[in-house]
Structure 1
Amino acid sequence: MVPPTVAQLDTSVAELVPVRAQVDRITGVYVCTRPFRAAGPRIELEKLGRKAIVHNYGHGGSGWSLSWGSSALAVDMARATGVRELGVIGCGALGLTSALLAQRAGMSVRIYAKALPPDVFSMRASGLWTPHSRICDAQHAADFGDRWETMARTSYAMYQSMLGLPGDPIEWIDGYHLLDAAPAQPSEAVSDEPDYGDLSDRISDLAPNSVTLPVGSTPFQQPVRRFSIMMFNITSYARMLMSDFLLAGGKIVVREFTHPRQLLALPERTLINATGYGARALFSDESIIPIRGQTARLIPQPDVNYALNTSHLSMVPRRDGLLVQVIGDTGNFNNSDLTPDRAASEAAVRQLADIMATMRRT
């Protein structure tokens, strides 16, 4: 006998607190550049004079999601050089996880970075478990698939061990994708981004399946697709990583590098380069393409504990503020402009307000 679907089991109307989507509740508009590489992240060892440089960058929109698995590969390469002291360049998602894993492997670690959290691009991410977001293009997906799956599964397992910690650095939430009530119309906007590789089927066993809910079972006026997803409360999560690193004896040096030869003066013979988009300038890596992303942060609403998205909009209910983002827009690929467009964020918040206005109240 086939078991009933979730939608059939749950006949009550989901009770969801409306978002207070008002432009005067915007506390900030943030822009970052995601470092996309068509072939996937660069995780490899390069010799620089007497130094061994292990590169760990170029994760597109999957930096936090894949950080532990990617850094595990990088640290293994660093350990193979036989050193006991390691330098890590960069203090974002990949730098912190590389440093922590190296410490747990018995190495003495020093981080060098021009900026520390909260002033790094990693802090401007949306905060959802999206391990295949702009991770490679479709042409390279088959060759990259095995390595990606290893990184995704390693990272997922690490995140499961962090559930329930103080500050909820990692938590599971439900989300609702609003389906278009009318047949889709041809879009006038032509995507300027490549066809990205879709590797999600390789880890389909890791997360609960999504389910379509009919009209009347949620407060929304159209059918929705309910999904469950991990969320990173990046403020508390990054603070936890920094604290763990320092408590284990890690050292941090605030320093900016503008040329690889400056790395030769560092005392460590082996370095992990986790500079993200900064590697394009530092190592003249033209394979890194910036993808501009912008989010608006609204005043936190602790009672809003669900994600919401449409084909044009995303809302993530982080503890440090509700993140509202336009999705599916053009002009972001190969765009390194960090100038905030507040008008675009205000328009997104108003669009979210329109959705909230149509919600049924229980």
Structure 2
Amino acid sequence: MQRREFLRQAGATLAVASTAALAGCARQTLVPAATKPPLAAQLESGVARLAPIRAQTDRITGIYVCTRPFRAAGPRIEMETLGNKTIVHNYGHGGSGWSLSWGSSTLALHMAQSTGVHELGVIGCGALGLTSALLAQRAGLSVRIYAKALPPDVFSMRATGLWTPDSRICDAQHAQAFGDRWETMARTSYGMYQSMLGLPGDPIEWIDGYHLPDMTHSQQGESVSDEPDYGDFSERIRDLTPETITLPVGSTPFPQPVRRFTIMMFNITTYARMLMSDFQLAGGKIIVREFTHPRELQELPERTLINATGYGARALFSDDSIIPVRGQTARLIPQPEVNYALSAPRLNVVPRRDGLLVQAFADTGSFNNSDLTPHPEESEAAVRQLAGIMASMRSA
């Protein structure tokens, strides 16, 4: 069950990364926030320093809920003719929208280009819509985005912000058929993200994280998840990420053995603003408009459209294959000195620049749940759990 929880929230790439021998060469200690170490854990005389998180409920600045668009067979990336329009669908990426966006949108663009058009319409302004539009511009097309909402008011902005390319991407039954396409998308996206490292505002950066096992000896194994078995593709891209290292007691501030992993993180606020700015500076147009039926698309001047409406495609195209998976995060006041992620039983923390994201989760209740009502008590309980973890950590 511990592996399942970690897999569902952080993606299979982290969950099954190979574990090296116990590494005790560097003792890791907790340091006061005022020291403000650099973005990577600082090594000084063999000591890696971790700043404490100020885990207090009165530091919650917002609670955000979204629905991940899961499709058992994987995302829909295919072409369809509707009336006098060619629609290229690019939606249904589960918890991997940001992670796979460049690779998925590359496939969608190639389909759109096969129609021979020079003007393209993109429906949606989230992760998939923005990357589709930018790639089309770079290919020489004139592009217009149509969207009912713009960042920050799109579901993509409520994601946790970790590179988790196989998070709820398909179910295990469809994994073999989908594997090659997934790997192409993952590797294409990874290469694009590497080209963005070091840009102003750090839209993309690498961080370390620590996975804390359950030390309560609770009977979690008796809990049965209501989610399906998801496709696991981690072996296909094992060469792209560093190995996970098991650190014994005494080598970290934590009172138990932990697994240290390294992962890419999206500072989504900065990243989305950069994508929007790049699109508009290149002459892209954005029209705010909501579509309630596919026939309304016939009114648009573009002959070819990319449909990147995410979960919205369920209603717009009556696609009942999209299953909503509810997710809720709380955002704490930013702490620039906190540069590490945490994964603990039923809890994840992501140290984004716009705030520390605290995510609580359970085995049941999220799958096929479209409720967007925030539940503050869940987030407050998660922050208190995080406070307990901080209290258990040894200071220098």
- Which residue is 2:186 aligned to? 152
CA distance in 2, matches of 1:66, 1:277: 16
| Equivalence map 1:168-179=2 (5 Å) | 168-179=202-213
Amino acid at match of 1:127: G
Q: CA deviation at 1:14?
A: 3.0
- Asked if 1 retains the 8 angstrom alpha-carbon contact of 2:146 and 2:286, the reply is yes
Structure 2: distance between partners of 1:187 and 1:174:
28
The equivalent of 2:171 in structure 1 is 137
Pairwise CA distance, 1:8: 4.4
What is the distance in 2 between the residues matched to 1:8 and 1:17?
A: 20
What is aligned with 2:83? Answer: 49
**Percent of aligned pairs with the same residue?**
80
Aligned to 2:332: 298
Distance 1:185 1:349, change over 3 A: same
Structure 1 residue runs without a partner (length 5+) = none
Q: Deviations over 1:188-232 (max 9, x none)?
A: 432010010111111000000001000011100000000000000
Verify the 8 A CA contact 1:54 1:273 in the aligned structure 2: yes
Find the aligned partners of 2:314 and 2:392 in 1 and give their Cα distance. Answer: 46
SS in 2 for 1:220: coil
Task: Note the 1:117-266 alignment, pairs <5 A.
Answer: 117-181=151-215, 185-266=219-300
Residue 366 of structure 2 aligns to which amino acid in structure 1? N
Cross-structure match for 1:283: 317
**2:148 aligned residue (114, 117, 124):** 114
Q: Is the 8 A contact 1:14 1:219 kept in 2?
A: no
Question: Which residue of structure 1 aligns with residue 308 of structure 2?
Answer: 274
1:230-262 deviation digits (Å, cap 9, x = unpaired): 000000000000000000000000000000000
Partner amino acid, structure 2, of 1:10 = A
Distance in 2 separating the partners of 1:354 and 1:180: 13
CA distance in 1, matches of 2:72, 2:268: 26
Paired positions, count: 359
Which structure 2 residues correspond to residues 299-338 of structure 1 after superposition, within 5 A?
A: 299-338=333-372
What displacement does 1:328 show? 3.6
8 Å CA contact 1:304, 1:317 repeated in 2: yes
Once the two structures are TM-superposed, the CA of residue 311 in structure 1 deviates from its matched residue by 2.3
Q: Describe the SS at the equivalent of 2:170.
A: coil
Indicate if the aligned counterparts of 2:21 and 2:246 stay in contact, CA closer than 8 A. Answer: no
Q: Is the 8 A contact 2:224 2:363 kept in 1?
A: no
Deviations 1:27-66 (A, max 9, x none): 0000000000000000000000110000000000000000
Question: In the aligned structure 2, how far is the partner of 1:59 from the partner of 1:45?
Answer: 17
Aligned-pair Cα RMSD in Å: 1.2
| Counterpart check, 1:103 vs 2:140 | no
Alignment match, 2:60 = 26
TM-score by length of structure 1 reads: 0.97
Show the counterpart of 2:8. none
Change (3 A) 1:324 1:269: same
1:26/1:329 Cα in 2 relative to 1: closer, same or farther (>3 Å)? farther
**Match for 1:301: what amino acid?**
Q
Which 4+ residue blocks in structure 1 deviate beyond 6 angstroms?
none
Cα distance in 2, alignment partners of residues 186 and 356 from structure 1: 23
Task: Tell me the CA shift for residue 186 of structure 1.
Answer: 4.2
Q: TM-score, normalised by structure 2?
A: 0.89
SS in 2 for 1:187: helix
Shift of 1:7: 1.6
Question: Partner of 1:76 in structure 2?
Answer: 110
